[in-house]
Structure 1
Amino acid sequence: MPDSNQPGSRRLLKRLRETLSEAGEGQERLDAITTLIAAEMGTHVCSIYLFRDADTLELCATEGLKPESVHQTRMRLGEGLVGRVALRTTPINTANAPAEHGFRYMPETGEERYSAFLGVPIQRLGERLGVLVVQSREARAYSDDDVYGLEVVAMVLAEMAELGVFQSSADGLQARHTHPVMFRGGVGQEGAAEGRVYLHEPRVVVLNPIADDAEAEVVRLREAVDKLRYSVDEMLSSAPLAEGDQRKVLEAYRMFANSKGWLKRMEEDIGRGLSAEAAVEKEQSAARARMEQVPDAYLRERLHDLDDLSNRLLRLLTGQGQDDGSEMPANPVLVARNIGPGELLAYGRKLRAIVLEEGSVGSHAAIVARALAIPLVIHAIRITTEALNGDPILVDGDQGVVHLRPEDNVANAFRDKIAMRAKAVERYASIRDLPATDKSGATVALHMNAGLMADLPSLPSSGAEGVGLFRTELQFLVRNQVPRRGELAALYSRVLDAAQGKRVAFRTLDIGSDKVLPYMKRQDEPNPAMGWRAIRVGLDKAGVMRMQLQALIRASCGRPLSVMFPFVAQLSEFTEARDHLMRELDREDRLGHTLPESVEVGAMLETPSLAYAPQKFFELADFISIGGNDLKQFFFAADRENERVRNRYDCLNVSFLSFLEWIAMRCDATETPVSFCGEDAGRPLEAACFSAIGLRALSMRPASIGAVKSLLRRIDLSDLRKVIEKARADGEQSVRARAEAWLLDNTDPE
């Protein structure tokens, strides 16, 4: 049982609850709170500073400072002692505030008379909301009990702000979750969608932060913790195959759940007057604050475990987020901090769009979103703390912009954009079965990328001539163990059935880097994108590669088979992988299994080194697919996971186009079919330029084929090539501006 001999803090919280329960506008409540805290703590000043925007704090209420400074005094995040408290999310307690480093004197407040200063952050689950300050004339350091008590009060204020009790029309303070908010994130998957928020993990709202009966609250907490520990033990025991690092992570998770210190701190918080839920959330906020300060990735991950445990405990205490009645709306937009591929696949094509706080362009979620052709925005910072289930939301995957609870004029403009897209799709349907032949008679083959059985219905409707890339790693990523050969063979057979005779190029397992299998030990590599991945893993773990090749051979069942190996950097890697395939064909023949009617063996050219491979490589390869996403990052030395540099370089840069042209020339010399595969292939301008320099096969997401085909049929590629050559001769860095201008003047109307 915690030491509940804390009459001061309990009395303060009780009076605070009474004050908050009284009717009144937001400003009246804030004023009453500062008066109450100053009186209870015996201080001359109590002030509340709240954020007006992400970087600006404003004095919103005070007892003791000049009244006219309210809503007039503002400071930047990190400015003055108040700004430092907000920035660091840690208290500042000093007996001589003017002597402190970073002190900022604000004459309009009249605070020059006050020496002692104690400021604590008002925050909720890592979200900065403001700063609560007390000051006194005499030079004295506030006691630990004072600091702790003020932190508890700040935590209650954060919960009250969450519930909107400080809403006021007069002073501009708005209730949370009611006003429009725009988030600028990163592009994970292009497209646009309008819908309603569906939270992957709905936030828990603490309705009763203050409790009267400490003993009853401790009993509730302990019962919930027991249930939590049992569920964690069950999770650990149900994963008997977990080994090495995976088991260590689960054991660390259980260690946190059984931490006596964690439970003791929460019980002490209850002893100070908080409810069980509020005590859990107070400790969770502290863990989130520590997470932001810890540079070590491993320790941050462990603090994330504690954060996750807190969420589970809150749901046990409140019953929220388990069966809270929040049904998925008819047009759901999934909002989450992050999400695994299996969880995302479980939602399937029901989703209109996905918005994540974390994630990356190469993450599992992005891979699945592309496979499902669902718009995805990543790095929408703090959207999970702002969004509520059912909120209207607009997702612009082309720009990486999200509008939450949009104003009417924004929504109307967005709907116009979607309507224009829909009309374009109708126009593209009329040319679906026509070839992508330009005005001079040159034809470009357009293929689609896929990774799921659910993609294959798009093959006839998109107008694609085949599948230029079928990603086989998704079936490995969504499982907790290696899939069986028979399961893979059945899947690949269904893919070929659905293709109805059209060519499907199966890319063998492309894992490593950002695509780590749940049952594969993560490699500690300083630069995983250039590390042990793709063909390197396949050659080192030949058993898995052979099993997959056997599944592909059996799936073909007398039909043509196209296999390509990813991330080949040199001739020897390709010949070794090709030899594996030839041996498996011989083995299957000896076993009496039906062999493919024909076999094509190709490679993905994703490293500049392969472009300069010996001619024997180009003679040996039956086809080559340029993997544009990886090739571009290595060509420009710009990590595509790094938002600061990945958009710095243009794929229509003259140097990059010249390099692609060189690859096309080498392939032409050996009559080796070559295609360009990647996001850039699906952008009409880029697709036209690639085609003009000699790449007459492109592979892209199904939704992009109509727009690319429409443009190619309305231009003369030989004339566009002259524009590119002229830009190169004139020393232009990129052909984009000239190509865009030429298209405006030389494209036939649709």
Structure 2
Amino acid sequence: MADRPESESRKLLGRLRDALAEDTAGQERLDRITQLIATSMGTEVCSIYLFRDEETLELCATEGLNPDAVHQTRMRVGEGLVGGVARTSQVVNTDDAPSAKGFRFMPETGEEIYSSFCGVPIQRLGDNLGVLVVQSKDARSYSADEVYALEVVAMVLAEMTELGAFIGEGAAMGARHQQAVTFKGGSAQEGAAEGHVWLHEPRVVVTNPVADDPETELQRLSDAVEELRVGVDKMLAGAARGDKEQLDVLEAYRMFANSKGWMKRMEQDISRGLSAEAAVEKEQSTARARMEQVTDAYLRERLHDLDDLSNRLLRILTGQGSETGADLPADPILIARNIGPGELLEYGRSLRGIVLEEGSVGSHAAIVARALAIPLVVHAERITTEALNGDHIMVDGDQGAVHLRPDDTVVAAFRDKIAMAAKAQERYTSIRDKPAQSRDGITVSLQMNAGLMADLPSLPSSGADGVGLFRTELQFLVRNQMPKRTELAQTYSTVMDAAEGKRVVFRTLDIGSDKVLPYMAPQDEPNPALGWRAVRVALDKPGVMRMQLQALLRAAKGRPLTVMFPFIAQYDEYRAARAEMDKALEREHILGHAVPEKLEVGAMLETPSLAFAPQQFFEEVDFLSIGGNDLKQFFFAADRENERVRRRYDTLNVSFLTFLEGIVNRCVTTKTPLSFCGEDAGRPIEAVCMAAIGLRYLSMRPASIGPVKSLLRRVHLNEVRDVIIEARERGDQSVRPAVMDYLRTRD
């Protein structure tokens, strides 16, 4: 076969296609394929191993080994030569298998008489499905052309496995994309949702991996690549001329689209018998496998560019994808590897839930999902390769769990949970217009967090007293260029109109860390959360801050205005930011514009250092808001983006509550209004404890106001405070158990 690889591989692929077209059961079809490969390759053995589960391979068909071993022989990933191929996704080719590193003797197969071994991964787009093996008695090392032919065959087998061609006997041959699967990820937005899958980047299914006419396929590939290049050129022409970073990315994109090496490899695949689609996907699988091994961030990004180009090329060749006019289901659950805030906002409130393979609790997508009150699970690994459009899916944002194609037991339990939540919501609606007042007469002001115009309609229905935090960065994040002052002024004015006189606290631009503007040069920082972000950026580059402050002053049109600076770490930073506000106010006076009848300027306390600022700071600032998410991660030195540690430390830890109480006491002394803003404010147990230590303003997502108000109205806050003090004196690490015991005694 080594002297005429192209014709032999094409013949073999043709025979494979014929075998797959036969009306035979899955096992029969697999047996026929192993016979064909062994005969064509001139080997005594050909075996196909498929994954039984994520860690176990099973011998599913063989020509040459003991047939009784089929569906009996199993091995773990990494075990033996076959397991090694599965673990590394690399070819193993040796003329002396028993002496090769990692060899494992399996007496039930009768393979001890075979010296040579060649194993190639059966994979599709980085998704390992199994291993294809040939073996011979004579000590031979398979040629590069023979290995190549095996890789092409393995790729076709992967496509057929994907399409369910081998469904039949044996646990390892269950229907792909038909079984129930549960994914455990991280909770980025709470809530539960049931619906049907909508893939943000639809999975392209190649149904014709083998082709008879190479010339036709080469022409199809050439036409599709030309269409792809024209599309990339249009993207470049439409890019902002002054945006060097965006232009650099698109130039790299065009470089790949015009790569002769990329094109040549695909043409070679077609000459060996693959269709144009299969040739593209074979190159894409190779790039995905390389991406898994590469640690360099730049190279990974370039391989990601190539992956994206391959997807575009496949959609051109097959006509598959969202652009073909497929309709969004009535109850869509969005599935994506990752997604930007602008793309997510295009879907808007039509989504029931969101599941991402990547993402983080502080990502742009999470911010938008929280603003839209859509359940979001992140780090659901491999879900984009498992889910298909239209699949039934259930998302548990509280537990970070996703049930794809769930069985009846899971469906029943999940629907019970949703029904209970709906019933609780009815109860919360009944107290919407009542105050959040404890049984001993202490009233707590519950306010909502917002960041989008879409949030404001929920202000009256939520029962919130106002907007305790309006995140202004979202108007910057969803654009490809800096917004104009007039545009911002109009947005802020509309927000104040929608609030109908209720107080809105506008937080100035909080960028950096995980929130990088598309038109801003990214900063290569070892720890962005502790780096150049928020007010630090604003003070170093004050032009944007001045523009935003002017927009806010003009939006007020003489009405009361409340502005808050984020991530203040020391008194001088607040004084410098306040000075910029005073300059902006003076300029508006000079220009003859209306100025706010009342102006409140505050700061977010997100670093432990600010809790120990001089007394003058607490006297000078109009109000303070504890930014609980950041403060907690810095207090415990536990990155909230790190799933290993972010849940390790309890908000109700005695040391953290004592620290918060110290801030409360300083603000009481100086009569400085103090609020707590963050995820923990919206958790009823945490909210009750915060109110018990003296916090009287809590800001949270709209959906949390009902549950928090309900619990606050059931308890005596002074009694909760006594429970906290007793737990502290006992030396408890957290007050949670004691508070939970107290709450169980309440009706």
Q: Give the distance between the partners of 1:739 and 1:79, measured in 2 at CA.
A: 50
Write the deviation string for residues 420-463 of structure 1: whole angstroms up to 9, x where unpaired: 11111111111111111111111111000000011001111000
Helix, strand or coil: the match of 1:85? helix
**Structure 2 CA distance for partners of 1:644 and 1:396, relative to 1, 3 Å:** same
Q: How does 1:700-739 map to 2 (within 5 A)?
A: 700-739=700-739
1:555-704 equivalent positions in 2, closer than 5 A: 555-704=555-704
Displacement of 1:244 after TM fit?
3.1
Q: Name the CA distance, whole Å, in 2 between partners of 1:474 and 1:240.
A: 20
Q: Does 1:348 align with 2:348?
A: yes
Report the secondary structure of 1:117's partner residue. Answer: strand
Partner of 2:269: 269
Q: Contact between 2:683 and 2:704, CA under 8 Å: does it hold in 1?
A: yes
Contact 2:337-2:358 at 8 Å conserved across structures:
yes
**Equivalent residue number for residue 30 of structure 1:** 30
1:173-192 equivalences under 5 Å are 173-192=173-192
Distance 1:68 1:517 in 2: 61
Shift of 1:242: 4.7
Aligned counterparts of 1:138 and 1:170: Cα–Cα separation in 2: 32
Which residue number in structure 2 is paired with residue 546 of structure 1? 546
The letter for the 1-side match of 2:373 is: A
Aligned AA (1:164): G
Which residue of 2 is the match for residue 319 of structure 1?
Answer: 319
Matched, 1:18 2:18: yes
Whole-angstrom CA distance in 2 between matches of 1:299 and 1:726: 56
Q: Distance in 2 between matches of 1:126 and 1:532?
A: 36
Q: Distance in 1 between matches of 2:632 and 2:172?
A: 48
State the match for 2:140 in structure 1: 140
* 1:465 aligned partner, one-letter code: D
CA displacement at 1:78 relative to structure 2: 1.3
Counterpart of 1:99 in structure 2 is 99
- Is contact 1:27-1:171 (8 Å) kept? no
The Cα of 1:246 is off from its aligned counterpart by 2.6
Counterpart of 1:444 in structure 2: which amino acid? V
- SS of the aligned residue for 2:666 comes to helix
Q: Which residue of 1 aligns with 2:439?
A: 439
- The C-alpha deviation readout for 1:670-716, integer Å capped at 9, x for no partner, is 01111110011111011111111111111000000000000000001
Q: CA deviation at 1:413?
A: 0.8
> Residue 246 of structure 1 corresponds to which residue in structure 2?
246
1:382 corresponds to which letter in structure 2? R
- Give the root-mean-square deviation of aligned CA atoms: 1.1
Measure how far apart 1:488 and its partner are: 0.5
| 1:303 aligned partner | 303
In structure 2, what residue type is equivalent to 1:290?
A: R
Task: Please say if residues 4 and 272 of structure 1, whose CA atoms lie closer than 8 Å, have aligned partners that are also in contact.
Answer: no
Aligned to 1:361: 361
Alignment of 1:3-152 (within 5 A): 6-152=6-152
| Contact 1:315–1:322 (CA under 8 A) maintained in structure 2 | no
In 2, the alpha carbon distance for the partners of 1:605 and 1:550 equals 24
1:448-488 residue CA offsets vs partner (Å, 9 max, x unmatched)? 00000110011110000000000000000010111000000
**Structure-2 separation of matches of 1:454 and 1:688:** 29
Contact 2:27 2:169 (C-alpha < 8 Å) held by counterparts: no
Moved more, 384-393 or 147-156: 384-393
Following the alignment from structure 1 to structure 2, what is the Cα–Cα distance between the partners of residues 33 and 670? 82
Give the Cα–Cα distance (whole angstroms) in 1 for the partners of residues 396 and 740 of structure 2: 23
In structure 2, distance between residues paired with 1:676 and 1:476: 25
Give the CA deviation at 1:739. 1.3
Displacement of 1:307 after TM fit? 0.1
Aligned-residue sequence identity (percent) comes to: 72
Q: 1:610 to 1:4 in 2, by over 3 A?
A: farther
Preserved CA contact (<8 Å) 2:60 2:172 = no
Distance 2:268 2:663 in 1: 68
Measured against aligned partners, the alpha-carbon deviations of 1:177-222 in whole angstroms (never above 9, x if no partner) come to: 1111111011111110011111111110001000000011001001
Q: Please say if residues 60 and 170 of structure 2, whose CA atoms lie closer than 8 Å, have aligned partners that are also in contact.
A: no
Question: Which string of whole-angstrom CA distances, capped at 9 and with x for unpartnered residues, describes residues 117-176 of structure 1?
Answer: 100001101111111011111111100011000000000000001111111156562121
User: d(CA) in 1 for partners of 2:684 and 2:25?
Assistant: 55
Instruction: Write the distance in 1 (CA, Å) between the matches of 2:95 and 2:4.
Output: 28
Q: Which amino acid aligns with 1:558?
A: G
CA distance in 2, matches of 1:4, 1:379: 46
Deviation at 1:98, TM superposition (A): 1.4
Distance 2:68 2:592 in 1: 92
1-structure distance, mates of 2:733, 2:102: 46
Asked if 1 retains the 8 angstrom alpha-carbon contact of 2:201 and 2:322, the reply is no
**Partners of 2:57 and 2:83 within 8 A in 1:** yes
Distance 1:222 1:414 in 2: 50
Normalised TM-score (structure 2): 0.99
- Aligned mates of 2:249, 2:400 — CA distance in 1: 33
User: Are the equivalent residues in 2 in contact too, given 1:4–1:268 (CA < 8 A)?
Assistant: no
Aligned residues: 745
Aligned to 1:536: 536
Secondary structure class of the residue paired with 2:496: helix
Contact kept? 1:561, 1:598, Cα under 8 Å: yes
Partner SS state of residue 358, structure 2: coil
Partner residue, 2:400? 400
Q: Match for residue 450 of structure 1?
A: 450
Please, which runs of 5 or more residues in structure 1 have no aligned partner? none
Amino acid at match of 1:307: D
Counterpart Cα distance in 1 of 2:430 and 2:722 = 30
Q: Secondary structure at the match of 1:6?
A: helix
Moved more, 172-181 or 609-618: 172-181
Instruction: Report the AA paired with residue 653 of structure 1.
Output: N
Question: Which amino acid in 1 is paired with 2:213?
Answer: D
Over 3 Å counting, the alpha-carbon distance change for 1:170 and 1:113 in structure 2 is closer
| Post-superposition offset of 1:247 | 2.1
Equivalent residue number for residue 379 of structure 1: 379
Shift of 1:741: 1.5
Could you say which residue in structure 1 is the equivalent of 2:388? 388
Partner-residue secondary structure (3-state), 2:522: coil
CA distance in 1, matches of 2:407, 2:4: 49
Question: More displaced, 71-80 or 584-593?
Answer: 71-80
Distance 1:28 1:669 in 2: 83
